[in-house]
Structure 1
Amino acid sequence: MKKLFSSQDAFELQAVRSELDALSIPYMVKNEFASGAIGELPWQDSQQEVWLVDDTWYTRASKVVEALIGRTSDKADIQSDWRCQQCGEENGGAFELCWQCHAGTRPE
């Protein structure tokens, strides 16, 4: 078994589950009913997780998650800082536009 996805967002989790069901990709959900234990257990230990029953489906299932959520579970959510090509200002990774000149010149 291999962990595919986890999220605090119930809508994201359900979207992944629905798509996996539609494609007949076998999976199981761990901690599906553990939310009542939050407080007794750390939230990380009670977060719902989607696990693949058969590891051979991982490549295809990862593409499903990436298409739905825009990231895979193996990638970091943090983007690196960048310098505006128009005014040269240093911008944080979360910014798509330069905060100084509002140019949309983030390098790809």
Structure 2
Amino acid sequence: MKKLFTSQDAFEMQAVRSELDALSIPYMVKNEFASGAIGELPWQDSQQEVWLVDDSWYGRASKVVEALINSANKTTGAREDWLCTQCGEENGSAFELCWQCNEGHRPE
């Protein structure tokens, strides 16, 4: 058996499980019902994990997980820090306006 994926995000876990089910890739979920033990156990020991029952599926299953993560990053609008074209100040990705000169960010 080989660990494929782990996440604290229940939606990510369900998305991975749904895709694996749709492709009939055999897996098991470790710590599926351990969330009630958080506080009694360290969070690392109670976090859900997706394990492949058969290691020969790892190549295909890891591509499924990678595609889901890439898709999620695109839909959430993951952006990078940017330089202001007016004053050259570096601004964080969360900023639409330059904090130094108030110039608007124009995505490229």
Q: TM-score, normalised to structure 2's length? A: 0.71
Name structure 2 gaps, 5 residues minimum.
72-77
Residue in 1 that maps onto 2:74: none
Identity, in percent, stands at 73
Say how many residue pairs are matched: 97
Residue in 1 that maps onto 2:104: 102
Matches within 5 A, 1:85-100: 86-87=85-86, 88-92=88-92, 95=93, 99-100=97-98
The answer to whether 1:52 aligns with 2:52 is: yes
Residue in 2 that maps onto 1:7: 7
Task: For residue 45 of structure 1, give the secondary structure of its aligned residue in structure 2.
Answer: helix
Question: Moved runs in structure 1, 4+ residues, more than 3 A?
Answer: 96-99
- The structure carrying a bigger helix percent of its residues is 2
Task: For residue 70 of structure 1, give the secondary structure of its aligned residue in structure 2.
Answer: helix
8 Å Cα contact 2:97-2:104 kept in structure 1: yes
Name structure 1 gaps, 5 residues minimum.
72-78
CA deviations over 1:77-101 (Å, ceiling 9, x no partner): xx9x644262422133xx1665413
RMSD over equivalenced CA pairs, Å:
2.7
